[in-house]
Structure 1
Amino acid sequence: MINEVVLTLLDEFQEEPQLITVTDEDGIDQVCEVIHTFSSEQFGKSYVLYVPVTDEPIEERDIFAAQYLSGNDGSIEELLPIETDEEWTFVEDILNEL
């Protein structure tokens, strides 16, 4: 009985993947899944790690990173490039921790 309750609660609180649409340099839209968001007080920016949605296992997909601006509801509103080598080092350190 307890196991059933725990499994039911886990199912209820399991989040749907957050999806974003990314437009590449050729103007082609790609649906991507957000795998992690985080902020940096040092840079005063928010960052997102994401992968293209495909049939491949997530471990086999390329991981992309960008800084982002959030909307009023906290959603990812606009992606921006990561501008400095220091920011890239910070983002890579977070990725390595994950």
Structure 2
Amino acid sequence: GATAFAEGGFQWKALRQPVGSHPEPKPFFQHTLALQPSDTFYLITDGFQDQFGGDKGKKFTAKRLRELLLESHSLSMAEQGSKLFQTFETWRGLQPQVDDVTILGFRV
């Protein structure tokens, strides 16, 4: 995962480590950000991007999800939620859901 800033074009690479028990745990890093009013953040599991669907039964992909979030970031949080839900359901179609799907969005 990564943090993308729609206005600034900055992408922040996330540490790929599961939360919980792991045979070789790595330390977590603390980051500090200067927040501005209307900054929007998303905490996302990989279920949305890993969902199979569309015309060819392919995965949605992280790139496509990032583009969807970037094009939707100026909408209200409620409108974003509706757009994400509708996009997911349309993409999934009749395919079974393959994983949990969680997107927590919040605006400063």
Please classify the TM superposition score into its range, dividing by the shorter chain length.
Answer: under 0.3
Larger radius of gyration: 1
Give the TM-score normalised by structure 2. Answer: 0.26
Using structure 1 for the length normalisation, give the TM-score.
0.28
Higher normalized strand content (fraction of residues): 1
